[in-house]
Amino acid sequence: MPTTTTIGPTQLLIDGQWVDSLEGETFATFNPATEEKITDVACGGKADIDRAVQAARKAFETGAWPEMDARDRGHLLYKLADLIEENADELAALETLDNGKPLSMAKAADLPLVIDCFRYYAGWADKIEGKTIPIRGNYHCYTRHEPVGVCGQIIPWNFPLLMAAWKLGPALATGCTVVLKPAEQTPLTALRLGEMIVEAGFPAGVVNIVNGFGEVTGAALVDHPQVDKIAFTGHYETAQIIMRNAAQTLKRLTFELGGKSPNIVFADADIDAAIEGAHFGLFFNQGQCCCAGSRLFVEESIHDEFVARLVEKTNAQILGDPFEAATQQGPQVDQDQYDKILSYTASS
């Protein structure tokens, strides 16, 4: 691995403290470019989820968080964004090491978007307003928006740090507390982010991070009766399981699920621009994107020319070490994804 890459914490963040799992279990995270082990991280189980949820519930109901002025919550999010910006090169390198995406992409896309996300929601923190509603009679009627409560957040491996920002930003701006479960393939940037959350001064228990696997750690988060909401990004079949299990406790749910997004090219299109767009839409982030342009419909009169030119461009794509400046495409995130993609091409 690059000698300049700092690994950061590898434990669980619960109630403002870095702790081992209660069972002492760990799992390895790997560099997908070399298949070498980077490090071992703590693997949380059901009991660890319970103590993280208890910490989040306490922080939501009785800690400093519910008494904090909305503007002060925004200031903490701004401070977190500043810390991320100050450490952007380190975070980009860590993302590349754990995920395999080209470092140039992590620097140009992932980190700027993470910083923008936290600053955007920091600005919203003191601008969440209700409505005054005219009604019949001499009465005053209004609505007030209140935080949902404890949010369980389960994120994927394709944009690990950005997915954490998308989940954390709105929840924290609105006064919720969080138990975050990173993807088991890519836990390292979420853990480093947790270190910055502590440094920024968020009260203990507001953000808890529990590594682990979906079948145990994620399931325990979904099932826990004191979790008010689950936010999940990932596969639709996992979302179906979450919906069934969350029904037992009537949790609120939000899902962002993958699709098979089509690109449509008509004969009167700017062919050069369409080829660039179709290529980027499919190969951005090694094709590991929820809205990847994985289907292409081309009008018959330009079909052969378009496909030939797109194939030519694809063959010129530079694959290699994601830390090399010339690399345009790094490895898939792990062997399972690599094998799945090859099975699709074999069956087509």
The residue from 25, 256, 289, 324 that is catalytic is 256
Length of the chain: 348
The residue from 195, 289, 290, 324 that is catalytic is 290
Q: What DSSP string runs through 224-291?
A: -TT--EEEEEE-HHHHHHHHHHHTTTT-EEEEEE---PEEEE-TTS-HHHHHHHHHHHHHGGGG--TT
Residues 6+ apart with CB under 8 A from 146: 175
Is-contact 167 121, C-beta < 8 A?
A: no
Is-contact 99 111, C-beta < 8 A?
A: no
Nearest to 52 by CA among 190, 167, 220, 184: 220
Is-contact 43 27, C-beta < 8 A?
A: yes
Which long-range contacts link 133-140 to residues 24+ away (Cβ below 8 Å)?
Answer: none
Nearest to 291 by CA among 317, 262, 253, 264: 262
Strand runs labelled E in 148-195: 150-154, 177-181
Nearest to 41 by CA among 19, 58, 14: 19
Distance between CA atoms of 114 and 76, rounded to whole angstroms? 15
290 carries an active-site annotation: yes
256 carries an active-site annotation: yes
What residues are labeled active site? 256, 290
